[in-house]
Amino acid sequence: MEITVIHSSCSCSSTLQFYFCPQTLHFYRGGAPKSAATFLSFQSDDHFRRFRKTSLSTKALISGNYQLRRFPSTSCSLSDNQIPATADIEVDQSLTLKKKVTEISPELKGSSIFLVGMNSTMKNNVGKFLADALRYSYFDSDSLVGQVAGGENATNSLKARDAEGFCESETEVLKQLSSMGRLVVCVGDGAVHSSVNLALLRHGISIWIDVPLDIIAREATAEIASTTSDSSEVLAMLTKLYEEWRNGYATADATISPQKVACQLRYDNMDAVTTEDMIIETLNEIEKLMRAKKMMEAAARRF
């Protein structure tokens, strides 16, 4: 199984090819012509037994193209019941966001941003819109593994059937993404269980998007409405996973939560928090990190 990822930015472009072999995932990197877009192309072979439990004489065909695109700058709330913000507030948010991006972009110097935390709509939206604001490319590590596995159902089946194989693939994907710049990456919720993965995230700036579990449970329950699971069962399962992974999440450079943002902005309830609110707070935290880094570098030069 082969995935070719062509990443292009204002300054450079590179080709990354992922080879799925029987025991592990191998990569190599080479030059590529400049491209006006970032895209993924998938070509198949029959070498990756962890994804396909079939004989080597049976070919598993997975093909298609996944075009990355820019996402429009709109506000997305945590709840469908949120009262729409006024036009004045939206304009003010947009101006604040643009100003913050203008201030912070030179300091970032193309550093990638990795978002960790339990998978949720808010985490994904923050990643997509943050990438759009910074003119970065956006990737979801679980989606990359899932595309090769054959889709979301195949991914879930792989996790249950061959958890070790999935983790190895996830690590190799993060290894390649961490070698690139100008990316916003939504990291799979369970990736922090691995010390190797945590080390790879140090190649950029890591942010924990800490969304309340009851919100994530409602989203998950809605997705599996056809099953017998109820929200309490899903919440119990998520709570167990959260407790298992929270120490890994806590190693992130900064933590952003809608509860904290709502408190800072003096909102009456957390449902009023928009994606733009979360992004502005994320950029504020990144700005603090950049300032602290410069101070440390300045102090080190004195010796």
List CB contacts of 95: < 8 A, sequence separation 6 or more.
none
Ranges 49-63, 200-214, 283-297: which has the least confidence: 49-63
pLDDT per residue as tens digits for the range 189-208: 999 999 999 999 999 999 99
| pLDDT(19) > 60 | no
DSSP 8-state symbol, 205: E
- The overall average pLDDT reported for the chain is 74
Which of 216-220, 225-229, 260-264 is modeled with the greatest confidence? 260-264
Average pLDDT (12-21) is 48
- Can you tell me whether residue 300 is helix, strand or coil? helix
Q: What is the pLDDT of residue 32?
A: 36
Kindly state the tokens that stand for 238: 């998520």
139/174 Cα distance (integer angstroms): 10
Quote the Cα angle for 219-223-229, to 5°: 90
Instruction: Please check whether residue 177 is in contact with residue 185, taking contact to mean a CB–CB distance below 8 angstroms.
Output: yes
Burial of 208 (0-12, 13-18, 19+ CB in 10 A): buried
Report the percent of the chain where pLDDT is more than 70. 62
| pLDDT(40) > 70 | no
- Output the pTM of the full model: 0.70
In sequence order, the β-bridge partners of residue 116 are: 208
Instruction: Please check whether residue 42 is in contact with residue 234, taking contact to mean a CB–CB distance below 8 angstroms.
Output: no
Q: Give residue 64's region: left, alpha or beta (phi > 0; psi -120 to 50).
A: left
